[in-house]
Structure 1
Amino acid sequence: MTQSRNTGYSLRQRRNLIGRFSLASTPINDHIRYEPDEKCTPLSSFVVAIQGIVLVLPLAVSIVVINVLATGQDEAFLTWSVFSALIIVGIVTALQASRISRFGAGHLVVMGVTPNYIPLSVLALNEGGPAMLASLMVVSALFFFAIATRLPQLRRVITPTVSGTVLMLIAVMVLPICLDRFGEVPEGAPTLAGLCVALVTLTVSTVLILRAPRCWRPWSILIGFASGCVAAALLGVYDLEPLYAAPWVGIPEVGFQGLDLTPAAGFWALLPMFLIVTLVQAIKGIGDNVVIQRVSRRRPRTTDFRLLQGSLYSNGLGVLLSGLAGTPPASPYSSFTASVVNMTGVAARNVGYVIAIMLLVLALLPKFTGALLTIPSPVMGAFLLLAVGIFFVEGVQTIVRDGLDFQKTVVVGVSFALGAGFEQQNILENLLVHPWGTLLGNGITVGAATAIALNVFLNLTSPRSRRLEVRLDFSDLPRIDAFMRKVAADMHWSEEATQRLRSAGEETLSSLLQPDSGHPAGGGTDKTPRLIIAVRPDGGAAEMEFISTLEDEENLEDRLAYLNEEDESVDEREISFRLLRHYASSVRHRKYQGMDIVAVRVEA
């Protein structure tokens, strides 16, 4: 191709255009020693896995215990719940590190259990027993799978603005829990003992994060825990009773109670509550995976929504298995994952397999679990505080990376203010019948619902888009060009702006049909994939979406970001990428399982 099909630029002219713009350099996480697909040494894997276990196990077991006590179950069921929770968390952790069919995030994901279903579990057990609870959790898991499958269709509703706001609200919700743990010390301990232990832990950990030599980074969490435990022992607040009480080996009796296959009225009354909590969990899971993908790379890439969908499918499987076992559902602990990766510099997914094996062993050896449960609460509170701070910043970055214009600022501001306000004072609790007041007055639910509602409102009140369906082939370029001309004429654009819109459309098609993509140009057969183009006016700009079924691995947004870091010699295959970046003010490429969506914004 020596000449552009509609612009008339020669190859030399196209090369000259490339020099008129430059891209911002891609941020680099230079502290990352091992990326997800790089295998770290067995020693590093073992050390990092231990630190992940130390972070997640006490909190996960505590949530299981609270769930069992809140639902009024006996000690035998408690033993079964802890055992099955560790097994399920281990299975899902290994699955998240993998990429098996549609399942798996392909990243290190530290899994735990979520407390969000505890109030609903109490209601379900009182209404219909363990069988009804299991049935409700199975339906919730199916709903989780449906959200993952329909994620491309939900892209304008569950946006980075929504997930980022939810991440920030989670941090706000957990923060008081961190501070409460500072005061959880045995009776008779010095008044300031808990605070002193927490400060020692927090100080040592922060110093290690900021200034530890590269060789010491993988050990930073263990050193922080050790310093806190030493301080606790010196102040007399180290309780070893859980270690003495735990047996060496234990395999409990199976506690599965079966499913309720004849749903009663109580089932249908509780189902909407379970689906609401599941939706919030899914939104949180989306934000979690965005954070994990970003912190795991030396050179952060555009979010891979195929891996995000795989993570949601894995989370849904965790909900399904947990429901059948009668334990709180497995859930990603992205704040802990981000902390482990940032503090150790290790994001290799083979660490996830090591964590999974350790969890399976710990499930069979309660004595080791008991040893980890002796970690003083102030030490855990200090680490949780550190993780929550990092988590809040990741939520902010999720929003900012998507572009923060005035409308998004209002959406985030109103949603966060309402969510944080309801977290401090639930004004619905006394206005609605229990448990609806508690459920709908939850800060995360209110914030997420507000953000979604405002997004839906913006979509409904935006100008309607114009659509064109063609083959993903250069032979249909004249139809695309005519469509772009008509759209520009309807928006009363100048000839120069019209030319820019047409050129952006051509270069997007050319970029999708690069020789190394899954669908080279010039096929023109009946099997040629379809391409849907939707153009929507947005003030003084046009938002274009190119929706196709490409299966190639390359992300156009990443390719555009890396162009300025290559040598100055121009490869003809790169010209379309460079010109696209020249004509468009922004390019977003979302790769889903079985679908690619390229969003291009062109200013008038």
Structure 2
Amino acid sequence: MNTDASARQSSVRYEADERPPLLLTIGLGLQIALLTVGGVVLTVAIVSRAGGASESFLTWGVFAAAAISGTTTIIQAIRVGRIGAGYVLMMGTSGSFIAVCIGALAQGGPALMATLIIISSLFQFLLSARLSLLRRILTPAVSGTVIMLISVTVMPIAFNMLNRVPEGMPSSSAAVTAVATVLVTLGIALKARSSLRLWAPVIGVAAGSIVGGYFGLYDAGRVAAASWLGLPDGSWPGIDISFGPAFWALLPAFMFVTLVGAVETIGDSVAIQRVSWRRPRAVDYRAVQGAVAADGLGNLLSGLMGTVPNTTYSSSIAVTELTGVASRMVGVVVGAAFVLVAFIPKFLAVVLAIPDPVAGGFLIVLLSMLFVIGMKLVLQDGIDYRKGLVVGVGFWIGVGFQNDAIFPALVSDFAGGLLRNGMTAGGLAAILMTLFLEITSPRRHRMESDFDLAALPKIRAFLEGFASRQGWDKGAADRLMAASEETLLALIPREDENSQPRRLLLVAHREGDSAVLELVAATGEGNLQDRIELLGDERAVETPEELEVSLRLLRHYASSVHHQQYHDTDIITLQVDVSPPPLRSPRAQ
């Protein structure tokens, strides 16, 4: 990849660690909050009314959901310890939990729902801590498929919103209002100068609301009737610790939906990194772990407060790409606005009064961008026929279940209609196919040693044995050894005399005429993949001469290098083509 060309083509105006002007930060954060808070409230209302909960619970649930969404959005942006991604990832109530939460409310009330959410949130913390163990299952192909299916799942809702008008209003008013929203938003996003492009969302929604107001679609009476400040009339619903039959019957469904939500969060946290930097970077999986942990924290707080669980909102990525502003400070403003909404009914009324055709039109633009982002995520590591089948079959299974086209009579009652959600059904299919590929893949050979140059003879013996079993000659073994040696030389920290002894796991397997080597260790060093990409770039941070030699040699020996950094674990995957004439490392013994 030509990083200079990529940098020139980037539309990012402010990177994640940059600070835009204060007015721009506040303005953009508020407009994102305005456009998102309606979804936070709507999910709670759907669950409450469908589950037969009281109006008191609805009032409390909306208050708690807004406050928790704001708090966790801020944590996602600033990262507290190992919790949070460090990127603009809006948090809000999760549509994936609608079916199971309705079932919990119907069978045991808000207290049972709260207990199930608390227990399932602990599973999410476990996923975050052990995410590296699932790296071969929760792949970019799976995450990208789930993100594409988010558009498939939500787009019908957006289409339905285009036609919603108060009784007695002509249907043409909805069409004109929606078209005005889409045209203004697209016109600014496609042709306006970059500074004006930042305001495309709010200008588009404002234009649509003005047109809707002309037709009488904007509910100004709701805004006028709302109070400026206030606390909810409802009260905390408590938790149910009886762990009766209803709890055990619903727990598997809650755990599964939590897993699906985690896959969505993984996809979002990978995708937001792709649109937050001018120069392409390797995915930082420590940020992904932080995002999943923050998601778990949000669900834990939701359970303790007795409201619907939350998740990352994928619209964060589309808005970031649309505006070109990825600064973490925008996430802080969005979170603060959510918290304020919980205590300012007037502000909430302004958002809820936006006509449905306006919200639907804008949502269509965002979901279209989100679909393309999912495609890019699928393609980021290349795609072969196996990945193509996983993505294609998983995607169309999701589309089929979402539209009740696949065995509707059998699926409608299964687990409370869980598989009628396209993201859940398609994501599960992609996970199962990836798991099948992993189980049936060729046997992997592995060895353990100290993470030290003294282990090189043991590594050489292991790789020579591996090459011999594949029928490769000594030249192939030399090439594998050279790639491994240069990787170790690039990774072992300098001035490391006082560090604790560490272990290295080396895993090797064959893919066609190539060998795939996986080195697993805790290095504490910078990302090797990024360093190789920046070789020869005058603007890159100066690299010690010996390290640069190792990186250049590694780039020569390996056809691809991927470095996944997790907390306490680094995984470097090398693909080495053994067919070229072998070249020995200058350092080879």
TM-score interval for Structure 1 and Structure 2 normalised by the shorter chain: over 0.9
Aligned residue among 570, 582, 588 for 1:596: 570
**How far has the Cα of 1:50 moved from its partner?**
1.2
The alignment partner of 1:341 has SS state of helix
Structure 2 letter corresponding to 1:262: S
Contact 2:76-2:291 at 8 Å conserved across structures: yes
Task: Give the structure 2 partner of residue 8 of structure 1.
Answer: none
Contact 2:115-2:240 at 8 Å conserved across structures: yes
Contact 1:474-1:521 at 8 Å conserved across structures: no
Aligned residue among 161, 185, 199 for 1:205: 185
Structure 2 letter corresponding to 1:549: A
Cα 1:370–1:437 change in 2 (3 A) is: closer
The Cα offsets for residues 235-271 of structure 1, whole Å up to 9 and x where unpaired, read as 3322223213322221125632222222111111111
Structure 1 letter corresponding to 2:517: M
Contact 1:549-1:595 at 8 Å conserved across structures: yes
Contact 1:197-1:378 at 8 Å conserved across structures: yes
Structure 1: distance between partners of 2:55 and 2:224:
18
The Cα offsets for residues 563-594 of structure 1, whole Å up to 9 and x where unpaired, read as 14338999332111111111111111100111
Residues 33-52 of structure 1 mapped to structure 2, 5 A cutoff: 33-52=13-32
**How far has the Cα of 1:343 moved from its partner?**
2.7
Task: Give the structure 1 partner of residue 78 of structure 2.
Answer: 98
Aligned residue among 204, 212, 215 for 1:224: 204
The Cα offsets for residues 139-196 of structure 1, whole Å up to 9 and x where unpaired, read as 1101111111121001111111111111111111111111111111122222221121
Contact 2:319-2:366 at 8 Å conserved across structures: no
Task: Give the structure 1 partner of residue 494 of structure 2.
Answer: 520
Alignment pair present for 1:582 and 2:562: no
Structure 2: stretches of 5+ with no match in the other structure: 579-589
Structure 1: distance between partners of 2:5 and 2:193:
25
Aligned residue among 521, 524, 548 for 1:548: 521
**How far has the Cα of 1:214 moved from its partner?**
2.5
Name the Cα RMSD after superposition.
2.0
Aligned residue among 236, 240, 244 for 1:256: 236
Alignment pair present for 1:166 and 2:138: no
Aligned residue among 355, 373, 381 for 2:334: 355
Structure 2: distance between partners of 1:219 and 1:441:
36
Structure 2: distance between partners of 1:526 and 1:238:
65
Identity %: 41
The Cα offsets for residues 269-313 of structure 1, whole Å up to 9 and x where unpaired, read as 111111111111011111011111111111121111101100100
The alignment partner of 1:431 has SS state of helix
The alignment partner of 2:448 has SS state of strand
Aligned residue among 329, 349, 352 for 1:373: 352
Deviates more, 1:361-370 or 1:432-441: 432-441
Cα 1:380–1:526 change in 2 (3 A) is: closer
Task: Give the structure 2 partner of residue 129 of structure 1.
Answer: 109
Contact 1:504-1:584 at 8 Å conserved across structures: yes
Residues 383-462 of structure 1 mapped to structure 2, 5 A cutoff: 383-425=362-404, 427-431=406-410, 434-436=413-415, 438-462=417-441
The Cα offsets for residues 376-422 of structure 1, whole Å up to 9 and x where unpaired, read as 11111111111111111111111100210111111111111211111
Task: Give the structure 1 partner of residue 585 of structure 2.
Answer: none
Alignment pair present for 1:533 and 2:506: yes
Residues 203-352 of structure 1 mapped to structure 2, 5 A cutoff: 203-253=183-233, 255-335=235-315, 337-352=316-331
**How far has the Cα of 1:114 moved from its partner?**
1.3
Cα 1:437–1:265 change in 2 (3 A) is: closer
The alignment of Structure 1 onto Structure 2 pairs a total of residues equal to 575
Task: Give the structure 1 partner of residue 467 of structure 2.
Answer: 488
Cα 1:26–1:283 change in 2 (3 A) is: farther
Deviates more, 1:148-157 or 1:251-260: 251-260
**How far has the Cα of 1:432 moved from its partner?**
5.7
**How far has the Cα of 1:93 moved from its partner?**
0.7
The alignment partner of 2:294 has SS state of helix
Cα 1:265–1:76 change in 2 (3 A) is: closer
Cα 1:274–1:232 change in 2 (3 A) is: same
Task: Give the structure 1 partner of residue 163 of structure 2.
Answer: 183
Alignment pair present for 1:559 and 2:531: yes
Structure 2 letter corresponding to 1:598: I
Contact 1:181-1:381 at 8 Å conserved across structures: yes
Contact 2:147-2:314 at 8 Å conserved across structures: no
The alignment partner of 1:251 has SS state of coil
The Cα offsets for residues 99-158 of structure 1, whole Å up to 9 and x where unpaired, read as 211101101112221122222222212222222111100111011111111210011111
